[in-house]
Amino acid sequence: MSHEKLVLLETHSGVATITLNRPERLNSLTVPMHEALRDALDRVAADPELRCVLLTGAGRGFCAGQDLSDPATMGNGEAPDLGHTLETYYNPLVRRLRSLEKPVVCAVNGVAAGAGANLALACDLVLAARSASFIQAFCKIGLAPDCGGSYFLPRLVGSARAMGLAMLGEKLSAEQAADWGLIWRCIDDEQLLPEAKALAANLASGPTRGLALIKQEIHASIDNDLETQLNLERDLQRQAGQTEDHREGVNAFLEKRKPCYRGR
């Protein structure tokens, strides 16, 4: 399969839909998939017309994490340097998603295991099909969480639940994930993609720069004290106040009409 086909990028009305496309292996990640995903995210970052990302998986799974049979990362019989794999592929992927100045919606269409589960958690708004599940599968093969999991999990669900998920590797249903606050919403299977697309379209027609500042504020708040966060709010609101979209939002309110945001 060609490099591009491993990850599909479709664009429509400002939404870039990125689909992990190796369904026969539950979209587990190989080096060429990492490269294709990186290229797709770089294209989205560079195109101001693309104002929201929707990430999902083809077939019955979202992503089963690292492809455990990929000789490029699994060491070809010798002990692999997984630190190198993380530094080269997974860590840049998480940084790319978090620093993208556009909202990233994740539609978890099926099982999300290992780095696949944490790839979803690196996105900004996570929706999951009712039949989907999240598995911190690392402990089953003698590894520890990566792809940001050890950062996201305790912050989203608290240390006790994070520890249980990471040490036991039990399947967490989408419903439970939503109840615990790991994800935004659990949705009936047949409604997942329509709802995720509608959400992404809504965000893509929103005040993109303001949304990017919200993303930055909320992600930063997890580590900041109140004083630091108040200063950040001051600085980011200053930027937001200078956008065309802010002016448009206020004018539309005063003129009692729907705002037309251009992402500027």
Residues that bind ligand T3D (CB under 6 A): 25-26, 28, 64-69, 73, 82, 85, 111, 113-115, 135, 137-138, 140-141, 143, 146
CA distance 120 to 106: 6
**Residues, the chain, total?**
264
d(CA 157, CA 148) in angstroms, rounded, equals 14
Closer CB to ligand T3D, residue 17 or residue 73?
A: 73
Q: How far is the CB of 85 from ligand T3D (least distance, A)?
A: 4
- Please, what is the minimum distance in Å from the beta carbon of residue 74 to ligand T3D? 6
State in angstroms the smallest separation of the CB of 63 from ligand T3D: 9
The least CB distance from residue 207 to ligand T3D, in Å, is 36
Q: How far is the CB of 27 from ligand T3D (least distance, A)?
A: 9
Which residue lies nearer to ligand T3D by CB, 64 or 182?
64
Q: Which is nearer to ligand T3D, 28 or 243 (CB)?
A: 28
Task: CB nearer to ligand T3D: give 138 or 152.
Answer: 138
Looking at beta carbons only, is 90 or 261 nearer to ligand T3D?
90
Q: Distance between alpha carbon 234 and the CA centroid of its chain, in Å?
A: 27
